[in-house]
Amino acid sequence: MRTEFIDILIIGGGQAGLAMSHMLKQRGCLSIVVERNRIAERWRMRGPAA
Ligand SMILES: Cc1cc2nc3c(=O)[nH]c(=O)nc-3n(C[C@H](O)[C@H](O)[C@H](O)COP(=O)(O)OP(=O)(O)OC[C@H]3O[C@@H](n4cnc5c(N)ncnc54)[C@H](O)[C@@H]3O)c2cc1C
């Protein structure tokens, strides 16, 4: 069985969580994002730009 070690667990795959994950990756830090709905759910629910 393969085991991986993650440095940071991010709760919520919204704007802040995804940005944090990206910045951590750029700095060589492993993270996992857990999202209860779909990734970027709030942004998906937005209507088309007026
Ligand atoms: C109609 C509308 C228009 C907007 N327009 C703009 C704009 O033009 N410019 C702008 O800068 N901002 C805009 N915003 C605001 C912007 O969407 C929010 O400020 C931004 O999404 C906040 O990001 P966040 O990551 O903090 O929170 P969210 O985007 O809410 O992300 C949090 C995520 O965490 C998840 N979550 C919560 N609890 C748990 C849990 N216990 N376990 C797992 N997952 C969990 C949620 O499902 C969600 O996906 C707009 C918002 C709306 C509704």
Write down the pLDDT at residue 48.
75
Ligand 1 geometric centre to CA of 9 (Å): 18
Ligand 1 geometric centre to CA of 41 (Å): 7
Domain annotation covers residue 1: no
User: Does position 47 have pLDDT exceeding 80, yes or no?
Assistant: no
Angstrom distance (rounded) from CA 20 to CA 43: 16
Domain annotation covers residue 49: no
Domain annotation covers residue 30: yes
Nearest CA to 32 out of 5, 44, 1, 3 is that of 5
Q: Tell me which residue has its CA closest to atom 52 in ligand 1.
A: 46
Q: Assess contact for 33 and 10: CB atoms under 8 A.
A: yes
pLDDT interval class at 49 (50, 70, 90)? low
* 6-24 per-position pLDDT tens digit: 999 999 999 999 999 999 9
Domain annotation covers residue 18: yes
Range of the domain at 36: 8-44
Domain annotation covers residue 33: yes
Q: Tell me which residue has its CA closest to atom 13 in ligand 1.
A: 43
What does pTM read for this prediction?
Answer: 0.84
Report DSSP letters for 12-40, one per residue. --SHHHHHHHHHHHHTT--EEEE-SSSTT
Answer yes or no: is the C-beta of 39 below 6 A from any ligand 1 atom. Answer: no
Domain annotation covers residue 50: no
Number of folded domains in the chain?
A: 1
Tokens 């088309």, residue? 48
Domain annotation covers residue 36: yes
